[in-house]
Every structure is written in C-alpha cells, then in structure tokens.
C-alpha cells in the first residue's frame, strides 16, 4: 500500500473495506441500484430490497430483528435521537436522567441541552480506570428517573462498561437503558436478544463501513419508544425522515456481514498489535497508561507522559497518525475532558496519545509508531526545561 | 504536506533541528538566565545568554510548549547570537508571528519569547 503516513487512529474512523466499496459502487450511477427506496416503481423496489438486505445484515450482527433498527446518519444522530427522543417520550413520567462525564460529546452535549430545557441530569464519575460503579448507579436512580445512558466502550481509553449489569439494574427499576456502541458494534460480540439494552447507537465508519450512515436499535418492550427529533417524511416508521442513502446502507450492511464473519480474526489482530505497541514503549520513563491495563478493548491504547508537551509530541511523531489529548486537538481548547474525569491533571491529559488499531494496520506500522513515539519523547525532553 | 498544514517550513526546520536548544556551555564573564512561564497552558521558556564585551556570545533555550514556541525560541536565538546586547530589547512578536505563520490564538505563547528577552536585557542593564 502506497501511503505517506502510518494510520493508527482507527477509533476515530476506519478506512472502508474494499468489499464495502464494491457493494457501494454497485449502487451508484445510472446502472446501479440508485433509486429512492420509497418509490414504488421497479427501480425503487430494487433499492428497497438492498436496504432490507442491509437491515437484515446489521440485525444479524447485533443479534436482533431487522424491524428494531432505524437508519441514521451515524452515532451522533443515533445518540441524539435515542436520548432526546426517549426523554421526550417519557417526560410525563419524570424528568430525571443519568449519564457519565466520560461519554462522547454526542451523548454528553445532548444531556446538557436537555438540562437547559428543564431535565435534571445526574453525572456519575467513573473510577480512575474509567469504570462505572454499579452501586453508585443504583443509588442515583430515583422514582422519576427515566433514562440511563452509558457507553459500551470508551472511545479514548477503551474501557468496557458492564452493560449487562447496568441493563439488569435499569430493567429492575423500570428505567430505559441506552448505550453508545460506536466503539463496540462490529468489534465486540453483541447479542441484543439476550442483552438488557433498550436503545443502542452505532455507526458504520468505525468498523470499515462508510462515513455518514449508522443505526439506532430500539428494543421491542413496553414504554420503550422515542419521539422523532426531525420531521419531514414518513421514512423509518416516521422516526427519521429523509431519503435513505442506498449506497451507504449497502456499505454498512456489507461491513456488518464482514464484522460478523471476521470478528475473531479482527479481535486477535488488534490484540496482537496493541500488545506489540505496549511492549515497545512500556519502559519509557514516566509513561502512564490511561485506562485499564487488562480487560479493556484491545484495539485502543492510551498513554501519557506528564512532562511532555502534547502538540510538540504529535509533530515529533509524524507521519504516524494518532489522536491526542492535547488542547490543540480539541475544539474546546481544553485537554481531554475524559482523562480529566479519570482524575488526570491537565498536564497529564494534554500529553495523552491514543493509539488505535484495526484490520488494515500491520506489525510494520506498529514498529514505525514505536520508533517515532520514542524519538518524539526523546526530542521533546532534550528541549524541555522540565525534564 | 497538505495545504492546511498548521506548521510552515520555518517552524518545521526550527522544531526538528533546534541547534540552540540546551544550556550555555562556554565560560563567560556573565551568564544571564530568564525563566518565564504561562500558567494557563503550562508553557515555559528558559533562555540563557553568555555575555562578553557587550555582545551575546552564546545563547541557548529550553522550552516546554508547542512547536511554534520552540521554533520562535530557536529563531531568535540564532539571530541574537554574536550580536550586540541591545538587540535583546529590539525583537518583538510581530515579525515572529508573520515569519512562523503563528495562529492568532497562540499570540500569548510568543509573548513568552518577548518576555524572556526583555528580562535578559534588564539583567544586562542592571549588571552594567
């Protein structure tokens, strides 16, 4: 592969699998399955068949029925629809909601918006590894609590929350449970017929599908429903209007099939790469691992060194593409709020680097990343008055 | 590099090969040291200068900060070395901002360079 960079930012987005691209291309152009699937003519019906097939494929990946899935533009929209839609649907029963400060902005900002509109939001801080204390959640649930939202795999640290325990607790207390599974769908096994999850968000581009398409799962349970947040058409059971992007949905369906078939292989691959990366840098003086050393999603490795400046570290690491906890990489101008919530200082958070691994990354990529990270740390330290 | 590269060639050159990074190593009648920091971002700059016969004979820096700060420190050190002490008071941020294409939001970090040079100059004047 001819590239002028080494890509280890798979938690941000993954390249589309070539087989996904093939599936998408077959939908595009005058000779493709391009028509509006809501149209009743033959071209529309062909598109509808593609959409139905993709819905079945995603349902198979998630262990559920295709009728439980709503197409969206991605996890951000799914999260907005799930949280706002559920809060509004149950507002007559109560206005108390629960989440965590380590959630993705698509979740946290939706809760903040609801708080400005009169909802009461409780934020439960995790322990130093990012794990939710289930007893603390149980204590936070009130008579008027309507929704708990806790992400499955954290996008910055890879910590995995016990969504079965959280879901069981929520069901016992008649509270809806939403999980943002953007980092776990297509990567970890999910069986929604068995898991006590009411609402689940996913996006295609985190598991080798295209950007711009995702889905929301809504369980078939009493009082588990969401109100639409957009209006304009009757698509997706009137919950998500707009002409369906057939090529994107076809791509997502293919990505789901591949993830289902190659799950074990993918997991072994990212585990091996993560272990290789950690082994290559663990001895660096002052290095701190952000997140769990064991039991987290193996495709994410987050590390930091408090006496290294994050932006200079990133430049020193070029051409390795990773995510940074530094303020320069943040639209808020602040170091990673996720790491701050784990108790890291500003200095620790700003130096954080998240390596994330995926299907197309190789051992050679990891070796380059190890060499560049070590070089960048040494370079920054050679200049620094702190070291 | 893509057109939206946040670092121009000068920044990259100065960051990658900061030949003036370190401490003054020669022996001089006078060695001045300025240590300035910006608490908001944690940036810190230490500039040391070996002074002899009214000249900056050797000048070195150490920086904890973004690549623009490192590049600015390297650039001014290379321009001040072997020059008259008075130049310490003459270098401002405007020229640096332009030459290094520093984003407006980082102006505060470049003031660190100016602060350090002014501090060195004051020390030199007081010592006379």
Q: Cβ contact (<8 Å) for B65 and A309? A: yes
Per CB-CB distance under 8 Å, the chain A contacts of B105 are 333
For chain B, how many structural domains are there in total? 1
The 10s digit of each residue's pLDDT in B45-65 is 999 999 999 999 999 999 999
Q: Taking residues A183-188, what's their average pLDDT?
A: 98
Q: Quick check: is B6 in a domain?
A: no
pLDDT score recorded for residue A1: 55
Closest Cβ–Cβ partner in A312, A327, A333 for B67: A312
For the cut 70, the answer to whether the pLDDT of residue A123 exceeds it is yes
Q: Cβ contact (<8 Å) for A384 and B63? A: yes
The residue with tokens 């001045």 is B32
The CATH number for B36's domain is 3.90.1010.10
Q: Are strands B43-52 and B55-64 parallel, antiparallel or unpaired?
A: antiparallel
Q: Which domain holds residue B89?
A: 19-127
Q: Taking residues A121-148, what's their average pLDDT?
A: 97
> What are chain A's domains?
6-12+263-383 (3.90.1150.10), 18-257 (3.40.640.10)
Q: Is B20 on the interface with A (CB under 8 A)?
A: no
Residue A6 belongs to what H/E stretch? Answer: strand A6-7
Per CB-CB distance under 8 Å, the chain A contacts of B62 are 383-385
The residue with tokens 């949280």 is A83
Q: Who's near A328: CB < 8 A, 6+ residues apart?
A: A310, A311, A314, B66
Q: Quick check: is B4 in a domain?
A: no
Residue A3's pLDDT band, with cuts at 50, 70 and 90, is confident
Q: Quick check: is B12 in a domain?
A: no
pLDDT score recorded for residue B108: 81
Q: Which residue of B has its CA nearest to A309?
A: B65
pLDDT score recorded for residue A359: 97
pLDDT score recorded for residue A333: 61
What span, in angstroms and rounded, lies between the C-alpha atoms of B127 and A95?
69
Q: Is B60 on the interface with A (CB under 8 A)?
A: no
Q: Quick check: is B10 in a domain?
A: no
pLDDT score recorded for residue B104: 86
Selected for mutation to probe chain A from B34, B43, B64 (highest A CB count within 10 Å) is: B64
Q: Quick check: is B99 in a domain?
A: yes
Q: Taking residues A84-88, what's their average pLDDT?
A: 98
pLDDT score recorded for residue B124: 87
pLDDT score recorded for residue B32: 96
Phi and psi dihedrals of A370, rounded to 5? -60, -45
Q: Quick check: is B79 in a domain?
A: yes
Buried b / exposed e along B63-98 (16+ C-beta atoms within 10 A): bbbbbbbbbbbbbbbeebbeeebeebeebebeebbe
What span, in angstroms and rounded, lies between the C-alpha atoms of B69 and A323?
21
Residue A206's pLDDT band, with cuts at 50, 70 and 90, is very high
- Joined tokens for residue B4: 């939206």
Q: Are strands A96-99 and A145-149 parallel, antiparallel or unpaired?
A: parallel
What span, in angstroms and rounded, lies between the C-alpha atoms of B85 and A78?
63
Closest Cβ–Cβ partner in B21, B43, B44 for A382: B21
Q: Cβ contact (<8 Å) for A311 and B41? A: no
Closest Cβ–Cβ partner in B46, B67, B105 for A385: B46
The 10s digit of each residue's pLDDT in A321-380 is 999 987 665 556 678 999 999 999 988 999 999 999 999 999 999 999 999 999 999 999
Q: What is the mean pLDDT of chain A?
A: 95
Nearest C-alpha neighbor of A81 from the set A204, A239, A232: A239
| Alpha-carbon separation of residue B70 from A120, A285, B47, B92 (angstroms) | 46, 23, 11, 16
Q: Where are the beta strands (DSSP E) in B1-128?
A: 30-38, 43-52, 55-64, 83-84
Q: Quick check: is B106 in a domain?
A: yes
pLDDT score recorded for residue A353: 96
* Max intra-chain CA distance, chain A: 71
pLDDT score recorded for residue A180: 98
The 10s digit of each residue's pLDDT in A144-172 is 999 999 999 999 999 999 999 999 999 99
Q: Quick check: is B65 in a domain?
A: yes
A:B CB pairs within 8 Å:
43
Half-sphere exposure of A100 (CA within 13 A, CB side): 30
For the cut 90, the answer to whether the pLDDT of residue B13 exceeds it is yes
ipTM: 0.94
């Amino acid at each position: 592969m001819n590239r002028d960079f080494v890509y280890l930012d798979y938690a941000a987005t993954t390249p589309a699998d070539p087989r996904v691209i093939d599936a998408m291309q077959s939908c595009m152009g005058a000779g493709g399955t391009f028509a509006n699937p809501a149209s009743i003519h033959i071209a529309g019906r062909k598109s509808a068949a593609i959409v139905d097939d993709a819905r079945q494929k995603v349902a198979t990946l998630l262990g559920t029925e295709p009728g439980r899935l709503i197409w969206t533009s991605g996890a951000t929209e799914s999260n907005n629809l799930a949280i706002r839609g559920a809060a509004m649907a149950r507002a007559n029963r109560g206005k108390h909601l629960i989440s965590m400060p380590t959630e993705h902005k698509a979740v946290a900002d939706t809760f903040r918006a609801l708080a400005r509109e009169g909802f009461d939001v409780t934020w439960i801080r995790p322990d130093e590894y990012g794990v939710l204390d289930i007893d603390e959640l149980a204590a936070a649930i009130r008579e008027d609590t309507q929704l708990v939202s806790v992400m499955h795999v954290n996008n910055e640290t890879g910590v995995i929350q016990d969504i079965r325990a959280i879901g069981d607790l929520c069901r016992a207390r008649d509270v809806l449970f939403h999980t943002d599974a953007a980092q776990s769908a297509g990567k970890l096994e999910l069986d929604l017929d068995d898991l006590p999850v009411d609402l689940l968000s996913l996006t295609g581009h985190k598991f080798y599908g295209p950007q711009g398409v995702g889905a929301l799962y809504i369980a078939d349970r009493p009082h588990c429903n969401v109100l639409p947040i957009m209006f304009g058409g009757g698509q997706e059971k009137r919950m998500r209007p707009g002409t369906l992007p057939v090529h994107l949905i076809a791509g997502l369906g293919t990505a789901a099939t591949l993830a289902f078939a190659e799950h074990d292989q993918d997991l072994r691959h990212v585990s091996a790469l993560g272990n290789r990366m950690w082994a290559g840098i663990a001895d660096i003086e002052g290095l701190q691992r952000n997140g769990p050393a064991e039991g987290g999603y193996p495709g994410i490795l987050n590390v930091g060194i408090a006496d290294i400046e994050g932006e200079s570290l990133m430049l020193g690491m070029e051409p390795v593409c990773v995510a940074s906890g530094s303020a320069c990489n943040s639209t808020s101008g602040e170091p990673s709020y996720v790491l701050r919530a784990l108790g890291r200082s500003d200095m620790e958070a700003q130096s954080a680097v998240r390596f994330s691994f995926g299907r197309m990354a190789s051992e050679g990529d990891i070796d380059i990343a190890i060499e560049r990270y070590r070089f960048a740390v040494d370079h920054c330290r050679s200049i620094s008055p702190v070291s | 590099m893509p057109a939206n590269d946040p670092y121009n060639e000068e920044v990259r050159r100065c960051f990658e090969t900061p030949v003036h990074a370190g401490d003054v190593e020669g022996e001089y009648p006078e060695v001045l040291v300025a240590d300035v920091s910006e608490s908001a971002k944690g940036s810190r700059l230490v500039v040391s200068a070996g002074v002899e016969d009214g000249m900056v004979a050797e000048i070195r820096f150490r920086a904890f900060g973004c690549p623009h700060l490192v590049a600015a420190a390297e650039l001014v050190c290379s321009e001040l070395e072997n020059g008259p002490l008075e130049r310490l008071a003459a270098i401002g941020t405007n020229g640096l901002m332009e030459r290094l294409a520093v984003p407006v939001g980082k102006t505060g970090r470049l003031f660190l360079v100016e602060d350090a040079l002014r501090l060195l100059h004051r020390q030199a004047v007081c010592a006379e």
